[in-house]
Amino acid sequence: MIICVIGSGGREHAICKMISLSPKVSKLYCIPGNAGTQQLAENINLNIDNFEKILKFLKDSKVDLVIIGPEKPLVNGIVDYLENNNIKVFGPKKISSQLEGSKTFTKNICKKYNIPTANFGIFEKKENTLNFLKNSKFPIVIKADGLAAGKGVYISKNFSEATEAVNEIFDGKFGKAEKILVEEFLNGEEMSFFIICDGKNFKLFKTAQDHKRVNEGDEGKNTGGMGAYSPSGLINKNLENKIIEKIILPTLKAIEEMGEKYKGFLYAGLMISDNEPFLIEYNVRMGDPECQTILPLLKTDLIDICNACCEGNLENLNIEWKEKKSLCIVLCSRGYPDKFKNNVKIDNLNNLKLDNNDFIFHAGTKKEKNKIFSNGGRVLNFVSVSNSLKNSRERAIKLINQLNWENGFFRKDIGFKIIDK
């Protein structure tokens, strides 16, 4: 099979890695890819927003299956466009993708189908939002409505912080904001819950816990994710059943009643409070860095899984997992998520001695004249699989220290809520 992965981050490098292990794959492309995917696939330098050029390439290259990594092309309807042109593609269509593309779309589904979530208000004007906040109880959560690469969420401790958040969103920090979401702050612990769906049936993927805040102890600004581990320490059979019954099934029913069938990964970002799940948000693709944490635990061929989803045949596939723990630490450019330097050379990568349970996924890198340079805020993902999260974390930290990249920083406490308690 000839496969093409679309995207350029750590998630896409992890997907390419798993695909490269499949005996069914004869050729692998990545659009546009990065310095890591280049080791496994042929990178094709196309803009992921240019569907026409992508289609021409896929047709010319006789690609059998396309796997979409990031959210933006999904929300913009790349699956509809490619399927209408007879290309087999793994991922949800445009309407389904509004679960991530519009927070108000998802909140309205929650209201209609009684899905447990935080109480919320939706506002279209700055003045109305601020008037509402004057009489609100703090802390409070403020969100930009559209896509914000995981960063458009503020937890405001007081009216002053809330005002700053509202101003930034309406002033276009995350692109044009027509709506803003204000919701109650939920106490509890977060969990990432993944399923995979073929339009009729779904199967559970793994759980994970992301670490969004830039500083140790979950302090500081929101980021795209500083690290993750899998499986989540919160999951149990009772909780799993509640998540499926109260959140997943009503959501899939809502999409079906809109005349769509959900196909692809669905990632529920949950808050768990006293073993009760509340939906914070949906993502319509694998999380990043959760994907890099989860996929190394997969025993079943990823191509078999994606094919079964595309063909509506997931029910007959048994998805198997390693009975291990996985932990990922993200090495970032100093200054992230604010200003940081790009194009900083990364030496020593080839000198690191990795075993079969170690993975380094490139997130923001590029290769020029056989040298690797940073090309983003989140640069490299260090993943280790072992029998314990503590061992996995120690191993990942050891590898980062061996790399000794002077422009980088990372959180040393990934998994602290379960390892260090």
pLDDT tens digits, 59-85: 999 999 999 999 999 999 999 999 999
pLDDT of residue 361: 97
The reply to whether 374 falls in a domain is yes
Alpha helices in 355-412 (DSSP H): 389-403
Q: What is the distance between the alpha carbons of residues 138 and 135, in angstroms, rounded to a whole number?
A: 10
CATH number for position 283: 3.30.470.20
The reply to whether 82 falls in a domain is yes
The reply to whether 99 falls in a domain is no
DSSP 67-96: EE-SHHHHHTTHHHHHHHTT--EES--HHH
Q: How many domains does the chain have?
A: 4
- Among 184, 202, 222, the domain-final residue is 184
- Among 316, 348, 371, the domain-final residue is 316
Residues spanned by the domain of 405: 325-419
The reply to whether 112 falls in a domain is no
Ramachandran category for residue 7: left, alpha or beta (phi over 0 → left; psi -120 to 50 → alpha): left
Co-location of 209 and 164 in the same domain: no
Co-location of 128 and 176 in the same domain: yes
Residue 150 has pLDDT above 60, yes or no: no
Co-location of 156 and 180 in the same domain: yes
Co-location of 281 and 267 in the same domain: yes
The reply to whether 60 falls in a domain is yes
CATH number for position 167: 3.30.1490.20
The reply to whether 108 falls in a domain is no
Give kind and range of the element (H or E) at residue 66: strand 65-68
The reply to whether 357 falls in a domain is yes
Q: In the structure, what pLDDT confidence band is assigned to residue 230 with cuts at 50, 70 and 90?
A: very high
Co-location of 78 and 123 in the same domain: no
Co-location of 205 and 152 in the same domain: no
The reply to whether 396 falls in a domain is yes
Q: What is the distance between the alpha carbons of residues 26 and 416, in angstroms, rounded to a whole number?
A: 41
pLDDT tens digits, 252-303: 999 999 999 999 999 999 999 989 999 999 999 999 999 999 999 999 999 9
Co-location of 66 and 125 in the same domain: no
